[in-house]
Amino acid sequence: MKRRDLLVTIIIPVISILLSFVIGAIIIAALGASPLDALRYLWKGAFGNVRNLGTTFSRATPLIFTTLCACFAYRCGVFNLGGEGQFIIGAIAACYIATKSPLTGFPAILLCAAAGALGGGLWAGAAGLLKVYRGQNEMIITIMLNYVATLFMGVVFTNWLRDGSVPQTVAVPEETQLASFLGLRATVAFPVAVIVGILIYYFLFWTSSGFQFRAVGLNMTAAKVNGFNVRRYILMSFIVSGAIAGLGGALELLGTQLRLINGFASGYGFDGVAMALIASLHPLAGILVAIFFAALRVGSTTMQTATGVPTSVSDIIQALVIVFTVAGMAMVRLPGFRNKFLQKAGKEA
Amino acid sequence: MGSFIANLILASVRMASPLIFLSLAELYSQRAGLVNIGIEGIAAIGSLTGFLVSLVTGSPLLGVLAGALAGILVNMIFAYATITLCAEQIVYGMAINIFAPALAAFIYRVYFGSGSALVQADLMITLKSALGIKSNHFLVNLFLDQTPMVYFAFILVVLTAVYFSRTKSGLNYKAVGEYPKAAATLGINVIGIRYLACVICGALAGIGGAYLTTCYSRTYVDGNVAGRGFIALAAVIFGRWSPAGVLIACLFFGFCDALQIRLQLVNNTLPYQFFQMIPYAATILVLALIGAKKAGPKACGQPYRKEEH
């Protein structure tokens, strides 16, 4: 039974990805380009050489953080849709420390990362308090907080930390920027993201407090009956998931973007939700899915220059993957489907 | 000051209208037991379709109709996944929220190429200019200087209220959202009504989106729905799932939206983003204040499986 479930959680996304690529290919053909060429350039652009591979890892890094944020929250039964806002608040906190504090270099980086995690955690914690003490719908609250955070970031880069006449913040000083990872275009933020993912996996699946978090997520009532302080777990999962996103925001600022600017983090929160769902909320699978999505994005730029197919085709493919995966996972859970499947298996045996 | 308040009230009504369409979309969906958080995305596709059709045909009205149609089409994906496949509604709504705006952005890019020249379509004319009235009195502006869509929104609230409380069909509809199994034993077609709910929801959400490009702004920009779909979700909760309550909630949120625009125009000391936060902050505040007296349809969010009789 367990093995079959595992199989389903791998097979469904793979079929969904193939199906999405088929539809993508049809769209590309309809636009008058050769789907095979487009796919080849997509691959080349994402993984074709060391430089492009580095770019893919670099693009994947923030997505891994928001994916892990969503994985952790949903495993604990909290539908945190505010990854984007928490990511942004983390980046703002890091931006202040990097540009305003006298610290530079490694101590500054550590402080920025800590402040980013703290900022993101508090931002999510605010939504958690409303959920726990006012019984409020966390989805709407966290989404509204995304808009507030985005606008607040606007205040920061158009007013408070503005760089002269350009609507962006001053750049993070060179000594505080993250080092490159193995000489690639990605920074050390990438291995940090992977390590955070492994730690979350270890915590959730191999420690007893991780098990308690998952128990609350699986059945809140049962957890309550068994004497769990459910409120505390819910609040904690808001804070931890927010801290993951906030850390991601801080590292994205120090490693890749270096400035807060219009469009910083745009869409990362919902993307993280989608990737977490495709990965069946498994942190390690989430890392792979995030790298896959990043590859689609990076590769689509090369595809656009080489074949003229717009990059938004890759957005459609990504969106279709989630549309198909979620529907597919529901389909195999239908009683009718299961019966048919078992009957067939029985006949063959 | 007098004109400030007058303009504020006029703008409130205009800004409430798209919210009314979106909130009613959500209301029809939830009354049948389907929580659809994808209306933000459906509004995006409605907005783009409305803009393109209005641009090509020169008729904003056709644009709105096309927006409704596009909304229905996209919402049929949600319908099939959540009603037939019993996918989790919240999760699938998120999928729609990712898919529909991506589709809208793609169609826009393909249609206009990579050139970013700002193309503008005509806006729907107001009753006042259609009748050729010149007066600029406040009441004339309030009641006559509105596009047909504004009247349609308010009429729809009344029709919905009558339908849900005064007709047998409306009561059957609500039963599907409260006790689907009991409704089925009374011979009500639960699956059929849920699909119907998705048609209505898709159409209204599409219209709400199309309003933004046919009655409010002359062009489509990615992200122009700006969270209105999510605010509509809050409006349904705030309005306690009743059409009248939803109307009041929408007028309040419309007022917040109007207030932020007006304040931006008169103030130039505070960064304008602080004003833009008002509708979102107000939504959080309202939800925090009303607390969690759960009054929604009881079967909301739960799949209905025929086999489980």
> What stretches of B108-150 adopt beta strand conformation (E)?
none
Q: State the pLDDT confidence band at B309, using cuts at 50, 70 and 90.
A: very low
Length of chain B: 309
Tell whether B87 is within 8 A of chain A (Cβ).
Answer: yes
Q: State the pLDDT confidence band at A1, using cuts at 50, 70 and 90.
A: very low
**A274 and B94 in contact by Cβ < 8 A?**
yes
Which residues does chain B have within 8 Å of residue A134's beta carbon, measured at their own beta carbons? 287-288, 291-292
Across the range B128-139, mean pLDDT stands at 86
Across the range B180-187, mean pLDDT stands at 92
A168 has which bridge partners? A261
In angstroms, the CA A51 to CA A47 distance is 8
Across the range A200-223, mean pLDDT stands at 92
Shortest CA gap A230–chain B (Å): 17
- pLDDT confidence of residue A232: 93
Are B55 and B112 in contact, with CB atoms under 8 Å apart? no
pLDDT tens for residues A102-160?
A: 988 899 999 999 999 999 999 999 999 999 988 888 899 999 999 999 999 999 999 99
Across the range B231-253, mean pLDDT stands at 95
Which residues contact residue A238 at a Cβ distance below 8 angstroms, ignoring those fewer than 6 apart?
A: A73, A78, A80, A124, A125, A127, A128, A131, A138
Structure tokens belonging to residue A182: 């193995």
**B77 and A130 in contact by Cβ < 8 A?**
no
- pLDDT confidence of residue B268: 77
- pLDDT confidence of residue A157: 94
Q: Which of B77, B94, B283 sits opposite A144 (nearest CB)?
A: B283
Which residues does chain B have within 8 Å of residue A326's beta carbon, measured at their own beta carbons? 81, 87-88, 91-92, 95
Q: How many CB pairs under 8 A join A and B?
A: 139
Across the range A80-97, mean pLDDT stands at 97
Shortest CA gap B102–chain A (Å): 6
Q: Which of B97, B103, B283 sits opposite A270 (nearest CB)?
A: B97
Q: Evaluate if residue B238 carries a pLDDT over 70.
A: yes
In angstroms, the CA A114 to CA A342 distance is 51
The interface residues of chain B toward chain A in range 225-244, judged by CB-CB distance below 8 A, are: 226-227, 230-231, 233-234, 237
Q: Which of B99, B109, B280 sits opposite A147 (nearest CB)?
A: B280
**A140 and B274 in contact by Cβ < 8 A?**
no
Q: State the pLDDT confidence band at B147, using cuts at 50, 70 and 90.
A: very high
Q: Evaluate if residue A261 carries a pLDDT over 90.
A: yes
Shortest CA gap A143–chain B (Å): 8
Query: If we measure between CA atoms, which residue out of A36, A26, A34, A132 comes closest to residue A77?
Result: A132
Tell whether B295 is within 8 A of chain A (Cβ).
Answer: no
**Side chain identity, residue B220:** Y
Average pLDDT, chain B: 92
CA nearest to B113 within chain A: A310
Query: If we measure between CA atoms, which residue out of A7, A9, A67, A45 comes closest to residue A328?
Result: A9
In angstroms, the CA A80 to CA A99 distance is 30
**A336 and B288 in contact by Cβ < 8 A?**
no
Q: State the pLDDT confidence band at B136, using cuts at 50, 70 and 90.
A: confident
pLDDT tens for residues A51-75?
A: 999 999 999 999 999 999 999 999 9
Interface residue of A27, A123, A137, A144 to substitute, partner B, most B CBs within 10 Å: A144
Interface residue of A312, A333, A339 to substitute, partner B, most B CBs within 10 Å: A312
Q: Is A267 helix (H, G, I), strand (E, B) or coil?
A: coil
Which residues does chain B have within 8 Å of residue A274's beta carbon, measured at their own beta carbons? 94-95, 98
Average pLDDT, chain A: 92
Tell whether B221 is within 8 A of chain A (Cβ).
Answer: no
In angstroms, the CA B46 to CA B201 distance is 12
- Of B9-18, B42-51, B135-144, B183-192, the one with minimum mean pLDDT is B135-144
Q: How much helix, strand and coil, in percent to the nearest 5, is found in chain A?
A: 80, 5, 20
Q: Report angle CA A224, A227, A231 to the nearest 5 degrees.
A: 55
How crowded is residue A70: how many other Cβ atoms within 10 Å of its Cβ?
A: 32
In angstroms, the CA A292 to CA A269 distance is 17
- pLDDT confidence of residue B144: 87
Q: Is A166 helix (H, G, I), strand (E, B) or coil?
A: strand
Q: State the pLDDT confidence band at A335, using cuts at 50, 70 and 90.
A: confident
Across the range A255-281, mean pLDDT stands at 93
Structure tokens belonging to residue B187: 């011979």
Across the range B51-76, mean pLDDT stands at 96
**B276 and A151 in contact by Cβ < 8 A?**
yes
**B98 and A270 in contact by Cβ < 8 A?**
yes
CA nearest to B82 within chain A: A327
In angstroms, the CA A238 to CA A252 distance is 21
Q: State the pLDDT confidence band at B145, using cuts at 50, 70 and 90.
A: confident
More confident residue, A241 or A1: A241
Q: State the pLDDT confidence band at B292, using cuts at 50, 70 and 90.
A: low
- pLDDT confidence of residue B293: 63
Which residues does chain A have within 8 Å of residue B271's beta carbon, measured at their own beta carbons? 154-155, 158-159
- pLDDT confidence of residue B265: 86
Across the range A1-28, mean pLDDT stands at 87
Q: State the pLDDT confidence band at A349, using cuts at 50, 70 and 90.
A: very low
A187 has which bridge partners? A180
CA nearest to B98 within chain A: A319
In angstroms, the CA B210 to CA B160 distance is 20
